[in-house]
Amino acid sequence: MKKVILLFVVLFVTFSCQSQKDERIKVVSKAEFKTMINGENIQLIDVRTPKEYSDGFIKGAKNINVNDTAFESEIQKLDKSKPVYIYCRSGARSQTAAKKMIQMGFSEVVDLQGGYMNWN
């Protein structure tokens, strides 16, 4: 009986954790990200502060600070039907931004694993 209960608990935890992942948010390696942003007319967003952005950024990135009050209004200007490529310093703020963007109706958000620190 204990084995059955333990199995049930393990299965419950496994499936409940998997359901929390949103498949519209993809976290990709530096190599994958570099390949993906190599095209034309991509939506590349740096969600760090303007100071961090001024210290260095990925070529072609637009700075929209996730912690700024204007974040949502600026993000609304993007095409929700096309992928948006985002990054921050290390990956935490970009996950916050990605979740907000999905709630706002974006179809796909691609996040650079490890952020700008991983880029350099």
Tens-place pLDDT, residues 7-51? 444 444 444 443 357 999 999 999 999 999 998 899 999 999 999
**Is 10 domain-assigned?**
no
**Is 58 domain-assigned?**
yes
Q: pLDDT at position 71, please?
A: 98
pLDDT band at residue 5, thresholds of 50, 70 and 90? Answer: low
**Is 115 domain-assigned?**
yes
60 Cβ contact partners less than 8 Å away, ≥ 6 residues apart = 37, 42, 44
Active site residues: 88
Domain that holds residue 56: 23-119
**Is 17 domain-assigned?**
no
Judged on CB neighbours under 10 Å (0-12, 13-18, 19+), 108 is middle
**Is 8 domain-assigned?**
no
Mean pLDDT, residues 55-67 taken together: 97
**Is 1 domain-assigned?**
no
CATH of the domain at 72: 3.40.250.10
Q: Which pair of tokens denotes residue 16?
A: 């409940």
Judged on CB neighbours under 10 Å (0-12, 13-18, 19+), 19 is exposed
**Is 47 domain-assigned?**
yes
Predicted TM-score of the model (pTM): 0.82
Q: How many separate domains does the chain show? A: 1
**Is 6 domain-assigned?**
no
